[in-house]
Amino acid sequence: MRRPSLRRHVNHSVQVKHTFDVPVENVWEVFVDHTSWNEWADQGVIKIEQTGSPTPNGVGCIKVTTSVGGDTTVEEVVGFEPIERLAYIVREGGYWTTDHTHEVFFDKGPNGKGCVVTWRCRFEPMVVGSGWIIENMVDKNYRTVLQLLEDYLSRSVPLDASGSDLVSGWEVV
């Protein structure tokens, strides 16, 4: 007699929004330049294993991240709509999950000023009951990366000339 599976298929999700006071084109350019993350994102060492299309960081690009602790994550870009959307999947590694997909949306900010980034993911935890822990880890990582990106852009990119009244920061979702 076959035993019932103890594993429950439960999808979890995380979504974070952040507003930048620099033009959407600049935020997009730095975010999708995977190897530039070595300069500003504090995620370990990032290398491109395979280039994508229509740009090297586009669809088919395979990015390998080796953390300071030695853990390796392999991600593949599966969606690339310039200055609008980047989508990728985790092929190996990544917080003890399966079906781990990410989407990042880049929109003009309020009144066409600045940029609003919406970064979200869905995943299924490998260990029953661990989803909330992984959600917290992913949420913290997204917020950290977006804050580091804001810091980097504030040092290297002029503010949106029309966005001087824009306030950078977080939106609770």
Taking the C-alpha atoms of residue 37 and residue 98, their distance in angstroms, rounded to an integer, is: 24
Three-class DSSP category at 3: coil
Which pLDDT value is given to residue 166? 46
What is the mean predicted confidence (pLDDT) over 96-104? 92
Sign (positive or negative) of CA dihedral 136, 141, 147, 153 = negative
Q: What is this structure's pTM?
A: 0.85
Helices 131-156/24-31 angle, 10° precision: 120
Which pLDDT value is given to residue 2? 55
The structure tokens 């600049």 sit at: 26
The structure tokens 């990366």 sit at: 145
Q: Is the pLDDT of residue 5 over 90?
A: no
Q: Is the peptide bond before 110 cis (omega within 30 degrees of 0)?
A: no
Question: Each residue of 35-68: pLDDT tens digit?
Answer: 999 999 999 999 999 999 999 999 999 999 998 8
What is the set of domains in the chain, with CATH numbers? 12-171 (3.30.530.20)
Of 14-18, 57-61, 70-74, the least confident: 70-74
